């Protein structure tokens, strides 16, 4: 294989160097679970969530915790021109007096990340206090501090949710919206209160100016997770799925522990919520290449050279002392196991979705929640940018 051929096949320069002339690595790339990315950059869905965490917003936070995985699952089948996109989510809180006034009482909990457990961890860490709800300042912070895509065909959107007047603080929301528009970022406003109150407090006007959607929700509505016959098997498969992760590097073990903790938090709420999370973990949106060797090989973050150069103490105990060939085989085995487990979870999730849909028909329709608002707004923007839900 010559260098030009390699460049057409692999995007990562490290893969370009390492796979040339390496028969073992070449063999691995023929196996689908560890195949490297194609040269075409995949489209992106970038979502920044800005939550009001002032005293009255406990229900809003709880809804978001309960519906993160449902929102992820809503978009797991989306494609643009036949290509599956990358999902990146960032999380901020605002309106909390525990955060410095010099930062507008705004705090960033995560940059844009594909490690969705980091977002879940951030949501479960939130509590309420105060506050001084400076919407314009929060939007400006998100625009300034995040690495937004430069592609006009990508979805780039901010969701800001709260309940006080939108026109507060040292930064005009109009100025912040103008700044966002210069990057092609839309802004969707979610008012936790009545529709008319949101109009009176400029939430609707902000969305109109920003090219986004205005939605009102009942923040105190409890999210109900319907339990299904498939939940027990999905939970068992989720435990098996966790066994396929290979932590590496300085914080691999810590992030594996984070994964397990987010499972436990979901399970404590409902077996239905854990089932939704397991479905997300079986989708292409759930990636952990910074700490898991299976995803790292798949995404081109680690190649054969890098694997052999990793210090033994940065690898899990079963891999320590193995030869280069044995290490590659170990990673491949875990990738194969993961693919089989994820497929079974996906199959069960399809039948589970049918069961849940039937049960929902028997219930009185609930008022819109923040998950409904997020889904509705992103779907509308997706349709404008040639994203297709399969």
Per-residue pLDDT, 258:
98
| Encoded tokens for 47 | 């979502």
**From residue 219, how far is each of 12, 96, 163 by CA, in Å?**
44, 17, 9
pTM of this prediction? 0.87
> What is the structure's pLDDT at 367?
74
- Considering the chain, what percentage of its residues have pLDDT values greater than 90? 79
**What are the distances in angstroms from CA 201 to CA 140, 161, 163?**
19, 13, 9
pLDDT class of 273 with cuts at 50, 70, 90: very high
pLDDT, position 36: 46
Residue 70: its pLDDT value, please? 92
SS3 44: strand
Q: Give how far Cα 357 sits from Cα of 275, 351, 353, Å.
A: 15, 10, 6
Range of lowest pLDDT (169-178, 235-244, 284-293, 374-383): 374-383
Mean pLDDT of 78-86: 94
Q: Is the model's pLDDT at 147 over the cut of 50?
A: yes
Task: Please compute the mean of the pLDDT values over residues 63-67 and round it to a whole number.
Answer: 94
- In this prediction, residue 28 has a pLDDT band, given cuts at 50, 70 and 90, of very low
Mean pLDDT of 19-34: 37
In the chain, where are the structural domains located?
Answer: 3-30, 44-224+366-389, 231-361
pLDDT of residue 39: 52
Q: Quick check: 334 pLDDT over 60?
A: yes
Question: Which helix (H) or strand (E) element contains residue 49?
Answer: strand 44-52
Angle subtended at Cα 289 by Cα 283 and Cα 294, rounded to the nearest 5 degrees: 75
Q: In a 3-state reduction of DSSP, which class is residue 385? A: coil
**Ranges 13-27, 159-173, 252-266: which has the least confidence:** 13-27
Q: Say yes or no to pLDDT of 303 above 70.
A: yes
Q: Which of 21, 16, 38, 63 is nearest to 368 (CA)?
A: 63
- The neighbour count for residue 20, using CB atoms within 10 Å, is 15
pLDDT at 208 over 90: yes
> Residue 2 pLDDT > 80, yes or no?
no
Residue 136 corresponds to which tokens in the numbers above? 């314009």
Rg (CA), the chain: 22
The span from the CA of 54 to the CA of 253, in Å, is 34
pLDDT for residue 1 is more than 50: no
Q: Considering only 4-13, 59-68, 209-218, which range has the smallest mean pLDDT?
A: 4-13
CATH for the stretch 44-224+366-389 = 3.40.50.410
pLDDT at 16: 34
Residue 109 CB neighbour total at 10 angstroms: 17
> Helices in the chain by DSSP H: which ranges?
3-9, 13-19, 23-29, 58-74, 116-125, 135-145, 173-182, 195-200, 203-210, 231-242, 252-269, 271-281, 293-298, 304-309, 324-361, 370-384
The model's confidence at residue 25, banded by pLDDT at 50, 70 and 90, is: very low
Mean pLDDT, rounded, of the chain = 89
């Amino acid at each position: 294989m010559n260098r030009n051929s390699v460049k057409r096949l692999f995007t990562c320069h490290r893969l370009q160097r390492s796979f040339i002339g390496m028969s073992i690595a070449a063999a691995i790339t023929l196996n689908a679970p560890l195949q490297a990315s194609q040269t075409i950059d995949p489209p992106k869905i970038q979502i920044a969530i800005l939550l009001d965490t002032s005293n009255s917003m406990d229900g809003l936070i709880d809804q978001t915790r309960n519906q993160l995985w449902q929102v992820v699952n809503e978009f797991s089948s989306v494609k643009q021109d036949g290509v599956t996109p990358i999902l990146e989510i960032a999380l901020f809180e605002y309106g909390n007096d525990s955060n410095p006034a010099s930062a507008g009482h705004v705090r960033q909990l995560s940059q844009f990340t594909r490690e969705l457990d980091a977002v879940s961890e951030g949501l479960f860490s939130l509590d309420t206090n105060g506050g001084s709800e400076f919407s314009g300042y929060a939007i400006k912070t998100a625009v300034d501090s995040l690495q937004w895509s430069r592609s006009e065909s990508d979805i780039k959107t901010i969701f800001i949710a709260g309940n006080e007047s939108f026109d507060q603080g040292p930064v005009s929301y109009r100025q912040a919206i103008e700044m966002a528009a210069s990057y092609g970022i839309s802004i969707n406003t979610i008012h936790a209160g009545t529709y008319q109150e949101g109009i009176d407090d400029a939430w609707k006007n902000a969305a109109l100016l920003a090219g986004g959607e205005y939605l009102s929700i009942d923040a105190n509505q409890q999210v109900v997770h319907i339990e299904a016959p498939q939940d027990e098997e999905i939970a068992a498969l989720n435990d098996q799925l966790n066994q396929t992760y290979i932590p590496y590097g300085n914080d691999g073990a810590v992030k594996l522990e984070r994964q397990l903790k987010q499972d436990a938090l979901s399970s404590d709420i409902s077996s239905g919520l854990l089932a939704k999370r397991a479905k997300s973990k079986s989708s292409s949106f759930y990636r952990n290449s910074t700490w898991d060797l299976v995803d790292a090989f798949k995404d081109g973050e680690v190649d054969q050279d890098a694997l052999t150069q990793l210090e033994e103490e940065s690898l899990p105990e079963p891999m320590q002392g193995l030869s280069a060939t044995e290490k590659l085989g170990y990673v491949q085995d875990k990738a194969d196991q993961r693919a089989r487990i994820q497929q079974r979870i996906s199959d069960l999730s399809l039948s589970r979705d049918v069961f849940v849909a039937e049960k929902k028909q028997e219930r009185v329709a609930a008022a819109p929640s923040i998950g409904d608002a997020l889904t509705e707004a992103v779907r509308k923007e997706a349709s404008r940018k040639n994203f297709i839900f399969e």
